[in-house]
Structure 1
Amino acid sequence: MNWQQAVERTVTGLGYDLVDCERGLRGLLCVYIDRTPGVVYPTGPGEFITVEDCEQVTRQLQRVLEVEGCDYERLEVSSPGLDRPLRRLDDFVRYAGSEIDLTLKVVFQGRKKYRGALRVVGDDPAAGLELVFQEGKESHVLGFVLDEVRDARLVPVVDFKRGSRRDAAAGGATQESGGHEE
């Protein structure tokens, strides 16, 4: 089993959503997790990743990666941040109604980058998604499918008077640890 499979199996086995995992410089292994809607977590209620969530996943990953013989120097487990990437169809469905930044793989009507409200079309999201965006005073709708997307991210919403849609814990929860050497 490779390190990516070990990470995915461990994170999803603990009930979290694996947003991304990547190797960085000098043996850094970064794992980005999110809470799954409807799951009750032992670290407490709420929809946002906490430091305790990151600690729990870090401890379990350290054990699994050692048993699997995966080589790394440091392990960092954190939330995906305020500008959470949307990669899978489930992500787009989960965040329908949210404002997103969308970058297409191919230029459409003179541009690749759009910002607008995400909508799911009909009963089958795989058949199509829409982005409702403003150009001047006019509202436009861009239909797209997942295969046409190079990058999609939530637009951070911060209200300094009332907090944000994604509270401070979501933007900054991180647990870092030393790693395992072969």
Structure 2
Amino acid sequence: MTKREEYEQKTEKLLIPIMEANGFELVDVEYVKEAGNWYLRAYIDKPGGITVDDCEVVNRELGDLLDRDDFIDESYILEVSSPGLGRPLKKERDFIRSKGEEVEIRTYRMVDRQKEFRGVLKAWDKDTVTIEYEDGQEQVFERDNIALIRLAFDF
């Protein structure tokens, strides 16, 4: 297990009681380096959407626990936010929640001379994801070739 994975898992464990106490859902935790800074990000959600106040509550409680446990070696910036539009589908519950919704898929390698696809999420398993196009045609993608799958959004 990498240090990054270890930090994410430990942070998730700290977040679970906070999520349960507030009726929130933990969507994802990531520990990433961007522009020379480390970020520890928690993405949370609830029916009807997350507010700034919700994020502040979780940030304060999580921050206190992280200060107490102090398991992250580097200095980092803690961010708590909603997953927002175009949230990536990563976990099984993301797929369950998004079944029947329009998704965008970006592939690593060309499929039918393109790398970007958009359709309704129909089915998935550990190896594949199936979407349906407006014309009723379905397409199956190998999970190994999916760089990104997220909810589609229109502006």
Matched with 2:22 is none
Calculate the TM-score normalised by the size of structure 1: 0.65
Match of 2:31 among 4, 19, 22: 22
- Post-superposition CA distance 1:72-122 (Å, at most 9, x none): 34322111111111122321121011111101233222222101111126x
Flag structure 2 segments of 5+ consecutive residues without an equivalent: 20-24
Matched with 1:174 is none
The percentage of aligned residue pairs carrying the same residue is 25
| Aligned CA distance change for structure 1 residues 75 and 127 (closer, same or farther; 3 Å) | closer
Give 1:125-144 correspondences, 5 Å limit: 125-126=125-126, 128-134=128-134, 138-144=135-141
Counterpart-to-counterpart distance in 2, 1:53 and 1:92: 24
Aligned residue-pair number = 143
Matched with 2:149 is 152
Counterpart-to-counterpart distance in 2, 1:140 and 1:86: 22
| Aligned CA distance change for structure 1 residues 128 and 28 (closer, same or farther; 3 Å) | closer
Matched with 1:166 is none
Answer 1 or 2: which has greater helix percent. 2
Counterpart-to-counterpart distance in 2, 1:81 and 1:144: 25
Counterpart-to-counterpart distance in 1, 2:13 and 2:27: 9
Matched with 2:8 is 4
Calculate the TM-score normalised by the size of structure 2: 0.75
Flag structure 1 segments of 5+ consecutive residues without an equivalent: 37-45, 159-182
Matched with 2:113 is 110
Counterpart-to-counterpart distance in 2, 1:21 and 1:86: 14
Counterpart-to-counterpart distance in 2, 1:142 and 1:107: 14
